[in-house]
């Protein structure tokens, strides 16, 4: 094996970006690390029993605002058939910030990013997305994402109660074991394709 191949195989692989609807994403307020290493990835625990260090969403960007005080810090509001995602991009996400600064809304966008939780002034927990990649896309891509996200969500729901599903058990401990809202969200999302 060449030195180049060795280095490539030793490089840390990127986490799979989980497909998740807004309804579930916004409920994923519990985060954790799987080791004590300061550089260990932070995961959001999805209520349907999966960990997510990165997520992949597609929806309609409906508004953008520069909410920064000292420097530009852009917030984007992205809706899918089940609810709303908020993405935030500043100096450390220059490409995403540039898109949010210049885009005309409404527009279909796809985002790969990292979930972030924060506490509001009233003490409730909110979840947002820090984009690694944000780009304009098409309605057909959005529709395909809805179908694939519905399938992935149903896959997670199907094994939620499995004794071997450690993240399902963890989610039940953190959020309770009612996953019906996420099954309902899948139906709502798929029905929206018939009317859009």
CATH numbers and ranges of domains, the chain: 15-195 (2.40.50.140)
Provide the whole-model pTM. Answer: 0.90
Q: Measured between alpha carbons, how far is 23 from 186 in angstroms, rounded to an integer?
A: 10
The two tokens of residue 85 are 């995602």
Residue 64: name the closest of 81, 77, 46 by CA: 77
Find the Cα–Cα–Cα–Cα dihedral 15, 16, 18, 19, rounded to 10°: 140
Q: pLDDT tens, position by position, for the chain (196 residues)?
A: 434 443 444 445 678 999 999 999 999 999 999 999 988 999 999 999 999 999 999 999 999 999 999 899 999 999 999 999 999 999 999 999 999 999 999 999 999 999 999 988 898 999 999 999 999 999 999 999 999 999 999 999 999 999 999 999 999 999 998 999 999 999 999 999 977 5
Give the position of tokens 């039940």: 172
Q: Measured between alpha carbons, how far is 115 from 103 in angstroms, rounded to an integer?
A: 23
Give the position of tokens 């920064």: 68
Q: What is the CB neighbour count within 10 angstroms for residue 165?
A: 17
* Residues ≥6 apart with Cβ < 8 Å to 23: 82, 83, 181, 182, 185
């Amino acid at each position: 094996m060449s030195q180049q191949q060795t280095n490539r195989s030793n490089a840390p692989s990127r986490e799979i970006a989980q497909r998740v609807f807004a309804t579930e994403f916004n409920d994923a307020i519990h985060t954790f690390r799987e080791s004590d290493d300061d550089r260990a990835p932070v995961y959001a625990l999805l209520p349907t029993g999966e960990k997510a260090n990165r997520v992949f969403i597609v929806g309609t960007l409906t508004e953008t605002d520069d909410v920064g005080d000292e420097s530009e810090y852009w917030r984007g509001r992205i809706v899918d058939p089940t609810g709303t995602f908020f993405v935030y991009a500043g100096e450390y996400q220059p490409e995403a910030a540039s898109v949010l600064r210049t885009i005309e809304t409404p527009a279909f966008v796809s985002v790969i990013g990292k979930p972030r939780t924060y506490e509001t002034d009233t003490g409730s927990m909110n979840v947002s997305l820090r984009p690694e990649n944000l780009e304009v896309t098409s309605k057909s891509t959005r529709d395909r994402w809805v179908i694939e996200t519905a399938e992935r969500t149903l896959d997670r729901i199907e094994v939620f109660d499995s004794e071997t599903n450690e993240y399902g058990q963890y989610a039940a401990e953190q959020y309770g074991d009612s996953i019906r809202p996420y099954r309902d969200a899948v139906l709502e999302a798929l029905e929206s394709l018939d009317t859009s």
